[in-house]
Amino acid sequence: MKHSNALLASVASLAIALPAYAADKDLIVFDWAGFEIDGLTSDYVAKNGDLPTFALFGDDDEAFQKVASGFKVDIVHPCSQMVSKYRDAGLIEPWDTARLPFLDDIPAEFLNSPVFKDDAGLWYVPSYWGATAVAYNTDTVPAEDVSTLQVFTNPKYQGKTSLPDSSDDVWALAYLATGVSDWTAVTDDQFKAAAEWLRAANANVYAYWADPSEQVQLMANGAVQVAWSWNDGVALLKAENYPVGFQREAKEGSSTFVCGFVNMKDGPGSEDKVYDFVNSWLRADAAPVLVDELGYGHANAKGMASKTAEDLLAAGLGAINAPNLAQVPNDPALRERQLAEFEKIKAGF
């Protein structure tokens, strides 16, 4: 691939940083790999003199299992469907809303769930949102092939696809591909149909990617032509002029998600620095940085207002004319069933 050398070098440097790195020992942030960018943390650094200590993860369930097993951190950055697990496990405490000056800039719909906010307080601070859709090599994959999610079961792409090693994202894909765009009311028959479709898709998978840098490397070296992707993988590829498209309007649709911060109970670090970090992230002028660097939408509506419709479309955040499966909180028992079935499917059963 003509753009692969520079791109592979950039993702390799990112991959080296994945496990963790230490800076300000008074704050430990358990975060998605790739979010340690200057524009999000600049206010924190200006006030405290250094970045917080980051521990990094690539999957929501992995992160939850680690903290549930005793890994001590101050803040975790899960997506919305995970919040009930943190609450049910007694791992988090409500936020002090008086210490979150940008809270009013977050659209109400991002908090429209009793899982996030109830009489006991605010349990979740939304930070960003994004899409999961079809990334593809525009030089080798015709647009008509990605007009449907059945591209992932198309024999033409056997051994040339990649899916995220994330139960939520692969089940969003499987439900959409089998005609379901609301996972809050999934029947047993719908679950079984989605599982069978996912088994068929698994037969085409070259590899499951664990984080965006891995997905980017798989596409950059030519092994993978089609991937079920988040915005940031596409943004990294575009930054290196790789020929990538992001199809959010397959006839069966695509998925969206919202992620945010939870405040860990009995965190080892400074509670003042917890709020310094979250407020640095939530300020309005962090929004364009997030869109430009990673292609994600920021939770601060005032900050997002600085981006044009063309900017949003280029980042894969524009309005779509297709079904959308929103990854909102769903039945915890269904999530556990999905997770167990996904592990069986990956193992070939």
- The per-residue pLDDT for range 116-140, each reduced to its tens digit, is 999 999 999 999 999 999 999 999 9
Let me know whether 228 and 266 are in one domain. no
Predicted model pTM: 0.89
Let me know whether 118 and 232 are in one domain. no
Residue pair 338/167 in contact (Cβ under 8 Å)? The answer is yes
Let me know whether 173 and 300 are in one domain. no
CA geometry: angle at 61 spanning 12 and 332, to 5°? 155
Helix, coil or strand: residue 263:
strand
Query: What 3 state SS string does 172-218 have?
Result: HHHHHHCCCCCCCCCCHHHHHHHHHHHHHHHCCEEEEECCHHHHHHH
Let me know whether 264 and 118 are in one domain. yes
Let me know whether 267 and 200 are in one domain. no
Number of domains, the chain: 2
Least confident segment among 34-38, 68-72, 204-208: 34-38
| Average pLDDT of the residues of the chain | 92
Model pLDDT, residue 36: 83
Residue pair 265/93 in contact (Cβ under 8 Å)? The answer is yes
pLDDT tens for each residue of 38-80:
899 999 999 999 999 999 998 899 999 999 999 999 999 999 9
Supply the CATH number for residue 184's domain. 3.40.190.10
% of the chain at pLDDT higher than 90: 87
Residue pair 248/173 in contact (Cβ under 8 Å)? The answer is no
Let me know whether 323 and 279 are in one domain. no
Q: Which is nearest to 194 in space by CA: 221, 218, 167?
A: 167
Kind and range of the H or E element at 118? strand 117-118
Let me know whether 206 and 275 are in one domain. no
pLDDT tens for each residue of 309-323:
999 998 999 999 999
Model pLDDT, residue 121: 97
Let me know whether 211 and 323 are in one domain. yes
Helix, coil or strand: residue 155:
helix
d(Cα 75, Cα 29) in Å, to the nearest integer? 5
Let me know whether 106 and 156 are in one domain. no
d(Cα 136, Cα 133) in Å, to the nearest integer? 10
pLDDT beyond 50 at 12: no
Residue pair 41/127 in contact (Cβ under 8 Å)? The answer is no
Bridge partners for 93 per DSSP: 263
Model pLDDT, residue 33: 84
Q: Which is nearest to 32 in space by CA: 213, 156, 160?
A: 213
Q: Which is nearest to 299 in space by CA: 279, 315, 313?
A: 279
Let me know whether 272 and 226 are in one domain. no
Let me know whether 183 and 265 are in one domain. no
Let me know whether 13 and 84 are in one domain. yes
Domain extent at residue 274: 4-129+258-315
